Structure 1
Amino acid sequence: MLRLTGLALGWAAALAFAAVLALQAWYFGHVLWWSQVDPASTAFMRAELARLRQENPKADLRFEWVPYERISAHLKRAVIAAEDARFTEHEGVDWDAIEKAWERNLVRGRVSHGGSTITMQLAKNLFLSGERSYLRKGQELVITYMIEAVMSKRRILEIYLNVAEWGTGVFGAEAGARHHFGVPAARLAPGQAARMAAMLPRPRYYDANPGSAALARRSAFVARWMGSIDPP
Protein backbone atom coordinates (compact mmCIF):
# COMPACT_ATOMS: atom_id res chain seq x y z
CA MET A 1 0.00 0.00 0.00
CA LEU A 2 2.80 2.43 0.89
CA ARG A 3 4.58 1.56 -2.36
CA LEU A 4 1.44 2.24 -4.38
CA THR A 5 0.92 5.50 -2.57
CA GLY A 6 4.51 6.51 -3.31
CA LEU A 7 4.10 5.69 -7.01
CA ALA A 8 0.87 7.66 -7.17
CA LEU A 9 2.54 10.67 -5.57
CA GLY A 10 5.47 10.34 -7.97
CA TRP A 11 3.17 10.29 -10.99
CA ALA A 12 1.20 13.22 -9.65
CA ALA A 13 4.41 15.21 -9.15
CA ALA A 14 5.61 14.34 -12.66
CA LEU A 15 2.30 15.36 -14.20
CA ALA A 16 2.29 18.62 -12.25
CA PHE A 17 5.85 19.36 -13.39
CA ALA A 18 4.92 18.61 -17.01
CA ALA A 19 1.91 20.92 -16.73
CA VAL A 20 4.09 23.75 -15.38
CA LEU A 21 6.60 23.27 -18.22
CA ALA A 22 3.78 23.26 -20.80
CA LEU A 23 2.39 26.49 -19.36
CA GLN A 24 5.80 28.18 -19.48
CA ALA A 25 6.27 27.01 -23.08
CA TRP A 26 2.87 28.54 -23.92
CA TYR A 27 3.90 31.85 -22.38
CA PHE A 28 7.24 31.83 -24.19
CA GLY A 29 5.62 31.04 -27.53
CA HIS A 30 3.37 34.07 -27.17
CA VAL A 31 6.29 36.28 -26.14
CA LEU A 32 8.16 35.20 -29.28
CA TRP A 33 5.08 35.90 -31.42
CA TRP A 34 4.51 39.34 -29.91
CA SER A 35 8.12 40.29 -30.41
CA GLN A 36 7.19 40.53 -34.09
CA VAL A 37 3.39 40.87 -34.16
CA ASP A 38 1.40 43.60 -32.38
CA PRO A 39 -0.97 42.22 -29.71
CA ALA A 40 -4.64 42.79 -30.53
CA SER A 41 -5.63 42.49 -26.86
CA THR A 42 -4.27 41.47 -23.46
CA ALA A 43 -5.53 39.44 -20.51
CA PHE A 44 -6.13 42.68 -18.63
CA MET A 45 -8.09 44.20 -21.52
CA ARG A 46 -10.26 41.10 -21.86
CA ALA A 47 -10.98 41.07 -18.13
CA GLU A 48 -11.95 44.74 -18.18
CA LEU A 49 -14.22 44.25 -21.19
CA ALA A 50 -15.96 41.36 -19.40
CA ARG A 51 -16.44 43.57 -16.34
CA LEU A 52 -17.89 46.43 -18.39
CA ARG A 53 -20.26 44.11 -20.26
CA GLN A 54 -21.72 42.87 -17.00
CA GLU A 55 -23.09 46.40 -16.62
CA ASN A 56 -23.66 47.11 -20.31
CA PRO A 57 -23.73 44.19 -22.79
CA LYS A 58 -22.90 46.59 -25.62
CA ALA A 59 -19.83 48.09 -23.93
CA ASP A 60 -16.58 48.12 -25.87
CA LEU A 61 -13.00 49.23 -25.32
CA ARG A 62 -11.36 52.28 -26.85
CA PHE A 63 -8.09 51.00 -28.28
CA GLU A 64 -6.01 51.78 -31.36
CA TRP A 65 -2.49 50.50 -31.90
CA VAL A 66 0.06 53.03 -33.15
CA PRO A 67 3.73 52.36 -33.97
CA TYR A 68 6.51 53.62 -31.72
CA GLU A 69 7.32 56.52 -34.05
CA ARG A 70 3.75 57.88 -33.69
CA ILE A 71 3.95 58.16 -29.90
CA SER A 72 5.22 61.45 -28.49
CA ALA A 73 8.76 61.32 -27.12
CA HIS A 74 7.39 63.37 -24.22
CA LEU A 75 5.11 60.48 -23.24
CA LYS A 76 7.94 57.97 -23.50
CA ARG A 77 10.08 60.08 -21.17
CA ALA A 78 7.20 60.77 -18.79
CA VAL A 79 6.18 57.11 -18.46
CA ILE A 80 9.73 55.99 -17.76
CA ALA A 81 10.18 58.80 -15.22
CA ALA A 82 6.92 57.90 -13.49
CA GLU A 83 7.02 54.11 -13.59
CA ASP A 84 10.59 52.86 -13.97
CA ALA A 85 13.45 55.37 -14.01
CA ARG A 86 16.05 52.59 -14.48
CA PHE A 87 14.14 50.95 -17.34
CA THR A 88 17.01 51.10 -19.83
CA GLU A 89 19.57 49.91 -17.26
CA HIS A 90 18.11 46.81 -15.59
CA GLU A 91 17.34 43.41 -17.12
CA GLY A 92 13.64 43.50 -16.40
CA VAL A 93 13.64 43.35 -12.61
CA ASP A 94 14.75 46.11 -10.24
CA TRP A 95 15.70 44.05 -7.20
CA ASP A 96 16.29 47.11 -5.02
CA ALA A 97 12.71 48.24 -5.64
CA ILE A 98 11.39 44.73 -4.94
CA GLU A 99 13.30 44.58 -1.65
CA LYS A 100 11.78 47.88 -0.54
CA ALA A 101 8.30 46.68 -1.59
CA TRP A 102 8.84 43.43 0.37
CA GLU A 103 9.71 45.41 3.49
CA ARG A 104 6.60 47.59 3.12
CA ASN A 105 4.44 44.49 2.63
CA LEU A 106 5.82 42.91 5.82
CA VAL A 107 4.91 46.03 7.76
CA ARG A 108 1.39 46.11 6.28
CA GLY A 109 0.89 42.35 6.58
CA ARG A 110 -0.35 42.04 2.99
CA VAL A 111 0.85 42.39 -0.60
CA SER A 112 0.23 46.06 -1.33
CA HIS A 113 3.43 46.96 -3.23
CA GLY A 114 5.18 44.99 -5.95
CA GLY A 115 8.17 47.07 -7.01
CA SER A 116 7.14 46.45 -10.60
CA THR A 117 9.20 47.63 -13.55
CA ILE A 118 7.68 48.47 -16.92
CA THR A 119 8.58 44.99 -18.19
CA MET A 120 6.96 43.37 -15.16
CA GLN A 121 3.81 45.43 -15.66
CA LEU A 122 3.76 44.38 -19.31
CA ALA A 123 4.09 40.70 -18.32
CA LYS A 124 1.15 41.08 -15.95
CA ASN A 125 -1.01 43.00 -18.44
CA LEU A 126 -0.38 40.57 -21.29
CA PHE A 127 -0.98 37.32 -19.43
CA LEU A 128 -2.08 37.55 -15.81
CA SER A 129 -4.86 38.70 -13.51
CA GLY A 130 -4.86 41.65 -11.17
CA GLU A 131 -4.63 39.31 -8.17
CA ARG A 132 -1.98 40.23 -5.59
CA SER A 133 -0.15 37.14 -4.40
CA TYR A 134 3.41 35.89 -4.23
CA LEU A 135 2.57 32.99 -6.56
CA ARG A 136 1.36 35.38 -9.25
CA LYS A 137 4.35 37.61 -8.65
CA GLY A 138 6.63 34.60 -9.19
CA GLN A 139 5.01 33.83 -12.54
CA GLU A 140 5.27 37.50 -13.44
CA LEU A 141 9.03 37.38 -12.82
CA VAL A 142 9.43 34.34 -15.09
CA ILE A 143 7.51 36.00 -17.93
CA THR A 144 9.47 39.21 -17.37
CA TYR A 145 12.75 37.45 -18.04
CA MET A 146 11.26 35.80 -21.12
CA ILE A 147 10.26 39.21 -22.47
CA GLU A 148 13.66 40.74 -21.76
CA ALA A 149 15.43 37.78 -23.40
CA VAL A 150 13.44 38.12 -26.63
CA MET A 151 12.50 41.79 -27.02
CA SER A 152 14.48 45.01 -27.22
CA LYS A 153 13.77 47.80 -24.73
CA ARG A 154 12.24 49.78 -27.57
CA ARG A 155 9.80 46.96 -28.40
CA ILE A 156 8.92 46.47 -24.73
CA LEU A 157 8.12 50.17 -24.34
CA GLU A 158 6.18 50.22 -27.62
CA ILE A 159 3.90 47.39 -26.50
CA TYR A 160 3.53 48.78 -22.99
CA LEU A 161 2.47 52.21 -24.21
CA ASN A 162 -0.06 50.61 -26.56
CA VAL A 163 -1.74 48.38 -23.98
CA ALA A 164 -1.54 50.44 -20.76
CA GLU A 165 -4.87 51.49 -19.24
CA TRP A 166 -5.68 55.22 -19.27
CA GLY A 167 -9.26 55.29 -18.04
CA THR A 168 -12.40 53.18 -17.88
CA GLY A 169 -12.31 51.11 -21.05
CA VAL A 170 -9.47 53.24 -22.46
CA PHE A 171 -6.30 51.40 -23.48
CA GLY A 172 -3.17 52.55 -25.23
CA ALA A 173 -1.49 55.90 -25.77
CA GLU A 174 -3.55 56.80 -28.83
CA ALA A 175 -6.95 56.22 -27.21
CA GLY A 176 -5.70 57.81 -23.98
CA ALA A 177 -4.44 60.97 -25.67
CA ARG A 178 -7.67 61.42 -27.64
CA HIS A 179 -9.83 60.67 -24.61
CA HIS A 180 -8.11 63.09 -22.24
CA PHE A 181 -6.82 65.82 -24.56
CA GLY A 182 -8.47 65.36 -27.95
CA VAL A 183 -5.14 64.91 -29.76
CA PRO A 184 -3.29 61.91 -31.22
CA ALA A 185 -0.50 60.37 -29.17
CA ALA A 186 2.09 61.87 -31.52
CA ARG A 187 1.04 65.43 -30.59
CA LEU A 188 1.05 65.21 -26.79
CA ALA A 189 2.75 68.22 -25.20
CA PRO A 190 5.12 67.78 -22.22
CA GLY A 191 2.51 68.76 -19.63
CA GLN A 192 -0.11 66.48 -21.16
CA ALA A 193 2.36 63.59 -21.28
CA ALA A 194 3.30 64.13 -17.63
CA ARG A 195 -0.35 64.04 -16.61
CA MET A 196 -1.03 60.84 -18.57
CA ALA A 197 2.00 59.16 -17.02
CA ALA A 198 0.89 60.29 -13.56
CA MET A 199 -2.46 58.55 -14.10
CA LEU A 200 -1.00 55.07 -14.62
CA PRO A 201 -1.18 53.77 -11.01
CA ARG A 202 -4.94 54.53 -10.78
CA PRO A 203 -6.23 55.28 -14.30
CA ARG A 204 -9.92 54.66 -13.65
CA TYR A 205 -9.94 56.72 -10.48
CA TYR A 206 -8.13 59.67 -12.07
CA ASP A 207 -10.35 59.39 -15.16
CA ALA A 208 -13.36 59.88 -12.89
CA ASN A 209 -11.58 62.47 -10.69
CA PRO A 210 -9.50 64.67 -13.02
CA GLY A 211 -9.31 67.44 -10.41
CA SER A 212 -7.54 65.19 -7.90
CA ALA A 213 -4.86 67.03 -5.90
CA ALA A 214 -2.80 63.82 -5.81
CA LEU A 215 -2.83 63.67 -9.61
CA ALA A 216 -1.70 67.30 -9.83
CA ARG A 217 1.19 66.67 -7.42
CA ARG A 218 2.27 63.52 -9.21
CA SER A 219 2.04 65.25 -12.61
CA ALA A 220 4.31 68.05 -11.36
CA PHE A 221 6.82 65.50 -10.08
CA VAL A 222 6.87 63.64 -13.41
CA ALA A 223 7.22 66.92 -15.36
CA ARG A 224 10.21 67.84 -13.23
CA TRP A 225 12.08 64.59 -13.90
CA MET A 226 11.07 63.52 -17.41
CA GLY A 227 13.54 65.86 -19.12
CA SER A 228 16.47 63.80 -17.83
CA ILE A 229 15.15 60.57 -19.36
CA ASP A 230 16.58 59.22 -22.60
CA PRO A 231 14.04 56.72 -24.02
CA PRO A 232 15.19 53.77 -26.16
Structure 2
Amino acid sequence: MSTPRPVKVNRLRSSTPNPVPSRSGQSRRAGARPWLERAVRVGAKLMTLLFLISFGWVVLLKYLPVSITPLMISRKMEAVADDQNSKLYKDWTPYEAISKEAALAVIASEDQAFSSHWGFDFDEIQDAIKENKRRKRPRGASTISQQVAKNVFLWSGRSYLRKGLEVYFTFLIELIWGKERILEVYLNVAETGPLTFGVEAASRRYYGHSAQTLTRTEAARMAAVLPNPRLFSIKKPSAYIQKRTRQIARQMRYLGGRGYLKNL
Protein backbone atom coordinates (compact mmCIF):
# COMPACT_ATOMS: atom_id res chain seq x y z
CA MET A 1 0.00 0.00 0.00
CA SER A 2 1.53 3.28 -1.12
CA THR A 3 2.16 6.16 1.26
CA PRO A 4 0.01 9.26 0.48
CA ARG A 5 1.94 12.30 -0.72
CA PRO A 6 1.94 15.38 1.50
CA VAL A 7 -0.23 18.19 0.29
CA LYS A 8 1.78 21.36 -0.70
CA VAL A 9 0.63 24.56 0.79
CA ASN A 10 0.70 27.63 -1.42
CA ARG A 11 2.29 30.12 0.96
CA LEU A 12 1.74 33.03 -1.43
CA ARG A 13 -2.00 32.44 -1.48
CA SER A 14 -2.24 31.77 2.21
CA SER A 15 -0.18 34.81 3.26
CA THR A 16 -1.97 37.76 4.75
CA PRO A 17 -2.94 40.24 2.03
CA ASN A 18 -1.43 43.76 2.07
CA PRO A 19 -3.57 46.21 3.97
CA VAL A 20 -5.69 48.47 1.81
CA PRO A 21 -4.98 52.19 2.52
CA SER A 22 -7.83 53.85 4.24
CA ARG A 23 -9.83 56.45 2.43
CA SER A 24 -8.74 59.08 4.94
CA GLY A 25 -5.01 58.44 4.19
CA GLN A 26 -5.64 58.66 0.47
CA SER A 27 -7.47 61.95 0.84
CA ARG A 28 -4.65 63.45 2.93
CA ARG A 29 -2.04 62.59 0.30
CA ALA A 30 -4.30 63.74 -2.51
CA GLY A 31 -4.84 67.03 -0.70
CA ALA A 32 -1.11 67.61 -0.05
CA ARG A 33 -0.04 67.11 -3.66
CA PRO A 34 -2.26 69.80 -5.26
CA TRP A 35 -1.17 72.28 -2.54
CA LEU A 36 2.50 71.69 -3.38
CA GLU A 37 1.82 71.92 -7.10
CA ARG A 38 -0.06 75.20 -6.62
CA ALA A 39 2.84 76.61 -4.60
CA VAL A 40 5.30 75.68 -7.36
CA ARG A 41 3.08 77.21 -10.03
CA VAL A 42 2.63 80.43 -8.06
CA GLY A 43 6.37 80.65 -7.41
CA ALA A 44 7.18 80.10 -11.08
CA LYS A 45 4.66 82.75 -12.15
CA LEU A 46 6.05 85.21 -9.60
CA MET A 47 9.63 84.65 -10.77
CA THR A 48 8.57 85.09 -14.39
CA LEU A 49 6.72 88.30 -13.56
CA LEU A 50 9.70 89.73 -11.65
CA PHE A 51 12.00 88.85 -14.54
CA LEU A 52 9.74 90.53 -17.09
CA ILE A 53 9.42 93.67 -14.93
CA SER A 54 13.16 93.93 -14.34
CA PHE A 55 13.95 93.21 -17.99
CA GLY A 56 11.46 95.83 -19.15
CA TRP A 57 12.83 98.31 -16.62
CA VAL A 58 16.35 97.87 -17.96
CA VAL A 59 15.17 98.21 -21.57
CA LEU A 60 13.23 101.37 -20.70
CA LEU A 61 16.22 103.01 -19.01
CA LYS A 62 18.35 102.34 -22.06
CA TYR A 63 16.53 105.25 -23.69
CA LEU A 64 15.15 107.42 -20.87
CA PRO A 65 17.19 109.71 -18.57
CA VAL A 66 17.76 108.28 -15.10
CA SER A 67 16.34 111.18 -13.13
CA ILE A 68 16.32 109.61 -9.66
CA THR A 69 18.07 106.71 -7.93
CA PRO A 70 17.66 104.98 -4.56
CA LEU A 71 20.93 106.60 -3.39
CA MET A 72 19.63 110.08 -4.21
CA ILE A 73 16.46 109.38 -2.23
CA SER A 74 18.50 108.04 0.68
CA ARG A 75 20.75 111.11 0.79
CA LYS A 76 17.78 113.46 0.66
CA MET A 77 16.03 111.63 3.49
CA GLU A 78 19.18 111.80 5.61
CA ALA A 79 19.39 115.57 5.07
CA VAL A 80 15.72 116.03 5.97
CA ALA A 81 16.17 113.94 9.13
CA ASP A 82 19.13 116.12 10.15
CA ASP A 83 17.20 119.36 9.45
CA GLN A 84 19.68 120.31 6.73
CA ASN A 85 19.24 121.70 3.23
CA SER A 86 17.88 118.73 1.27
CA LYS A 87 18.15 120.13 -2.24
CA LEU A 88 19.60 117.64 -4.70
CA TYR A 89 22.08 118.95 -7.25
CA LYS A 90 21.67 116.91 -10.42
CA ASP A 91 21.34 117.70 -14.09
CA TRP A 92 21.00 114.90 -16.63
CA THR A 93 23.34 115.58 -19.55
CA PRO A 94 23.76 113.46 -22.71
CA TYR A 95 27.09 111.74 -23.26
CA GLU A 96 27.81 113.94 -26.28
CA ALA A 97 27.56 117.10 -24.14
CA ILE A 98 30.08 115.90 -21.52
CA SER A 99 33.80 116.45 -21.94
CA LYS A 100 35.50 113.21 -22.92
CA GLU A 101 38.12 114.10 -20.33
CA ALA A 102 35.50 113.32 -17.67
CA ALA A 103 34.69 109.94 -19.25
CA LEU A 104 38.38 109.07 -19.52
CA ALA A 105 39.08 110.23 -15.95
CA VAL A 106 36.49 107.97 -14.30
CA ILE A 107 37.74 104.99 -16.33
CA ALA A 108 41.35 105.71 -15.38
CA SER A 109 40.35 106.05 -11.73
CA GLU A 110 37.67 103.40 -11.28
CA ASP A 111 37.89 100.73 -13.98
CA GLN A 112 40.74 100.62 -16.47
CA ALA A 113 39.51 97.34 -17.96
CA PHE A 114 36.08 98.85 -18.65
CA SER A 115 36.25 98.45 -22.43
CA SER A 116 37.24 94.78 -22.35
CA HIS A 117 35.33 93.10 -19.51
CA TRP A 118 31.69 91.94 -19.45
CA GLY A 119 30.77 93.68 -16.21
CA PHE A 120 33.22 91.94 -13.86
CA ASP A 121 36.99 92.30 -13.57
CA PHE A 122 37.95 88.92 -12.10
CA ASP A 123 41.66 89.76 -11.94
CA GLU A 124 40.85 92.83 -9.85
CA ILE A 125 38.52 90.79 -7.64
CA GLN A 126 41.27 88.25 -6.93
CA ASP A 127 43.76 91.02 -6.12
CA ALA A 128 41.26 92.66 -3.76
CA ILE A 129 40.63 89.35 -1.96
CA LYS A 130 44.37 88.88 -1.40
CA GLU A 131 44.89 92.47 -0.22
CA ASN A 132 41.89 92.44 2.08
CA LYS A 133 43.41 89.61 4.09
CA ARG A 134 45.95 92.10 5.46
CA ARG A 135 44.00 95.38 5.24
CA LYS A 136 41.94 96.82 8.07
CA ARG A 137 39.57 98.52 5.65
CA PRO A 138 38.54 96.23 2.76
CA ARG A 139 39.21 97.42 -0.77
CA GLY A 140 36.42 97.12 -3.27
CA ALA A 141 36.75 95.75 -6.79
CA SER A 142 33.49 96.91 -8.34
CA THR A 143 33.57 97.86 -11.99
CA ILE A 144 31.78 100.90 -13.38
CA SER A 145 29.05 98.54 -14.64
CA GLN A 146 28.55 97.10 -11.15
CA GLN A 147 28.40 100.58 -9.62
CA VAL A 148 25.76 101.65 -12.13
CA ALA A 149 23.68 98.51 -11.46
CA LYS A 150 23.96 99.11 -7.73
CA ASN A 151 23.17 102.84 -7.80
CA VAL A 152 20.32 102.74 -10.32
CA PHE A 153 18.42 99.59 -9.37
CA LEU A 154 19.26 98.66 -5.78
CA TRP A 155 19.12 99.91 -2.22
CA SER A 156 22.05 100.79 0.06
CA GLY A 157 23.50 98.15 2.35
CA ARG A 158 25.18 94.77 2.16
CA SER A 159 23.56 91.37 1.91
CA TYR A 160 23.81 88.23 -0.20
CA LEU A 161 20.45 89.04 -1.80
CA ARG A 162 21.62 92.51 -2.82
CA LYS A 163 24.92 91.15 -4.16
CA GLY A 164 23.06 88.54 -6.19
CA LEU A 165 20.77 91.18 -7.67
CA GLU A 166 23.79 93.36 -8.43
CA VAL A 167 25.29 90.52 -10.49
CA TYR A 168 21.93 90.03 -12.26
CA PHE A 169 21.46 93.72 -13.17
CA THR A 170 25.12 94.09 -14.15
CA PHE A 171 24.70 91.25 -16.63
CA LEU A 172 21.50 92.80 -18.00
CA ILE A 173 22.89 96.30 -18.57
CA GLU A 174 26.02 94.92 -20.19
CA LEU A 175 23.82 92.86 -22.51
CA ILE A 176 21.18 95.52 -23.27
CA TRP A 177 22.76 98.94 -22.75
CA GLY A 178 26.30 98.61 -24.04
CA LYS A 179 29.42 100.39 -22.80
CA GLU A 180 28.66 103.93 -23.94
CA ARG A 181 25.21 103.97 -22.32
CA ILE A 182 26.61 102.51 -19.08
CA LEU A 183 29.27 105.22 -19.02
CA GLU A 184 26.69 107.92 -19.80
CA VAL A 185 24.50 106.83 -16.88
CA TYR A 186 27.49 106.61 -14.55
CA LEU A 187 28.57 110.16 -15.41
CA ASN A 188 25.08 111.35 -14.54
CA VAL A 189 24.28 109.41 -11.35
CA ALA A 190 27.65 109.00 -9.59
CA GLU A 191 27.81 110.86 -6.28
CA THR A 192 30.31 113.69 -6.73
CA GLY A 193 29.73 115.69 -3.54
CA PRO A 194 27.25 116.31 -0.73
CA LEU A 195 23.78 115.95 -2.31
CA THR A 196 25.51 116.32 -5.69
CA PHE A 197 25.17 113.72 -8.44
CA GLY A 198 26.71 113.61 -11.88
CA VAL A 199 29.57 115.49 -13.48
CA GLU A 200 27.38 118.27 -14.88
CA ALA A 201 26.01 119.28 -11.47
CA ALA A 202 29.46 119.00 -9.89
CA SER A 203 31.11 121.00 -12.66
CA ARG A 204 28.63 123.85 -12.36
CA ARG A 205 28.62 123.80 -8.57
CA TYR A 206 32.38 123.57 -7.97
CA TYR A 207 33.99 124.91 -11.17
CA GLY A 208 31.35 127.38 -12.36
CA HIS A 209 31.00 126.01 -15.91
CA SER A 210 29.41 123.09 -17.76
CA ALA A 211 30.87 119.60 -17.95
CA GLN A 212 31.40 120.08 -21.68
CA THR A 213 34.41 122.33 -21.02
CA LEU A 214 36.08 120.31 -18.25
CA THR A 215 39.86 120.27 -18.50
CA ARG A 216 41.92 117.14 -17.86
CA THR A 217 43.00 118.37 -14.42
CA GLU A 218 39.43 119.29 -13.44
CA ALA A 219 38.11 115.92 -14.62
CA ALA A 220 40.90 114.05 -12.83
CA ARG A 221 40.19 115.90 -9.56
CA MET A 222 36.51 115.06 -9.87
CA ALA A 223 37.36 111.39 -10.37
CA ALA A 224 39.77 111.50 -7.42
CA VAL A 225 36.97 112.14 -4.91
CA LEU A 226 34.65 109.38 -6.19
CA PRO A 227 35.62 106.77 -3.58
CA ASN A 228 34.17 109.02 -0.86
CA PRO A 229 32.67 112.25 -2.24
CA ARG A 230 31.19 113.25 1.10
CA LEU A 231 34.59 113.15 2.79
CA PHE A 232 36.78 114.49 -0.02
CA SER A 233 36.15 117.84 -1.68
CA ILE A 234 36.46 118.94 -5.30
CA LYS A 235 36.38 122.61 -4.38
CA LYS A 236 38.90 122.35 -1.53
CA PRO A 237 41.11 119.38 -2.41
CA SER A 238 43.36 118.00 0.30
CA ALA A 239 46.99 117.06 -0.31
CA TYR A 240 45.86 113.48 -0.84
CA ILE A 241 43.29 114.48 -3.48
CA GLN A 242 45.85 116.65 -5.27
CA LYS A 243 48.24 113.68 -5.37
CA ARG A 244 45.47 111.40 -6.62
CA THR A 245 44.59 113.99 -9.28
CA ARG A 246 48.11 113.88 -10.68
CA GLN A 247 48.13 110.08 -10.63
CA ILE A 248 44.81 109.86 -12.50
CA ALA A 249 45.96 112.43 -15.09
CA ARG A 250 49.03 110.26 -15.76
CA GLN A 251 46.88 107.15 -16.10
CA MET A 252 44.68 109.00 -18.59
CA ARG A 253 47.73 109.57 -20.76
CA TYR A 254 48.88 105.94 -20.38
CA LEU A 255 45.48 104.70 -21.53
CA GLY A 256 45.97 106.63 -24.75
CA GLY A 257 43.95 109.76 -24.04
CA ARG A 258 40.59 110.28 -25.69
CA GLY A 259 41.46 107.68 -28.33
CA TYR A 260 40.80 105.01 -25.69
CA LEU A 261 37.10 105.87 -25.76
CA LYS A 262 36.84 104.84 -29.41
CA ASN A 263 37.07 101.22 -28.27
CA LEU A 264 33.80 101.40 -26.35
**TM-score category (smaller protein):** 0.7 to 0.9
Flag the 1:26–1:181 CA change in 2: closer, same or farther, 3 A.
same
Match of 2:164 in 1: 138
Which of 200, 210, 220 does residue 194 from structure 1 map onto?
220
Which structure ranks higher in relative contact order (CA pairs < 8 Å, sequence separation ≥ 6)? Answer: 1
Which secondary structure state, in structure 2, belongs to the residue aligned with residue 210 of structure 1?
A: coil
Structure 1 stretch displaced more, 22-31 or 154-163: 22-31
Judge conservation of contact 1:44–1:127 (CA < 8 Å) in 2.
no
User: Residue deviations 1:96-125, cap 9 Å, x none?
Assistant: 222233344555699x44411101000000
Gaps of 5+ in 1: none
Where do 1:7-156 residues align within 5 Å? 15=42, 18-56=45-83, 59-105=86-132, 112-156=138-182
Which secondary structure state, in structure 2, belongs to the residue aligned with residue 166 of structure 1?
A: strand
User: Residue deviations 1:7-41, cap 9 Å, x none?
Assistant: 87776676556544433432221110011111111
Flag the 1:57–1:215 CA change in 2: closer, same or farther, 3 A.
closer
TM-score by length of 1: 0.87
Match of 2:244 in 1: 218
CA–CA separation in structure 2 for the residues paired with 1:18 and 1:57: 45
Structure 1 stretch displaced more, 94-103 or 18-27: 18-27
TM-score by length of 2: 0.77
2:192 maps to 1:166: yes
Judge conservation of contact 2:207–2:235 (CA < 8 Å) in 1.
no
Which secondary structure state, in structure 1, belongs to the residue aligned with residue 113 of structure 2?
A: coil
CA–CA separation in structure 1 for the residues paired with 2:44 and 2:129: 28
More helix by share: 1
Flag the 1:207–1:24 CA change in 2: closer, same or farther, 3 A.
farther
Tell me how far 1:129 sits from its aligned partner.
2.0
CA–CA separation in structure 2 for the residues paired with 1:104 and 1:130: 24
Tell me how far 1:209 sits from its aligned partner.
8.6
CA–CA separation in structure 2 for the residues paired with 1:66 and 1:167: 17
CA–CA separation in structure 1 for the residues paired with 2:51 and 2:187: 25
Higher Rg: 2
CA–CA separation in structure 2 for the residues paired with 1:9 and 1:113: 45
CA–CA separation in structure 2 for the residues paired with 1:142 and 1:197: 26
Tell me how far 1:57 sits from its aligned partner.
7.2
Which secondary structure state, in structure 2, belongs to the residue aligned with residue 96 of structure 1?
A: helix
Tell me how far 1:207 sits from its aligned partner.
2.8
Percentage of identical aligned residues: 39
CA–CA separation in structure 2 for the residues paired with 1:13 and 1:80: 45
Judge conservation of contact 2:90–2:197 (CA < 8 Å) in 1.
yes
Flag the 1:222–1:5 CA change in 2: closer, same or farther, 3 A.
farther
How big is the alpha-carbon RMSD for the aligned residues of Structure 1 and Structure 2? 2.8
User: Residue deviations 1:160-191, cap 9 Å, x none?
Assistant: 10111111110111101112211110011110
Match of 2:11 in 1: none
Amino acid of the residue matched to residue 89 of structure 2? R
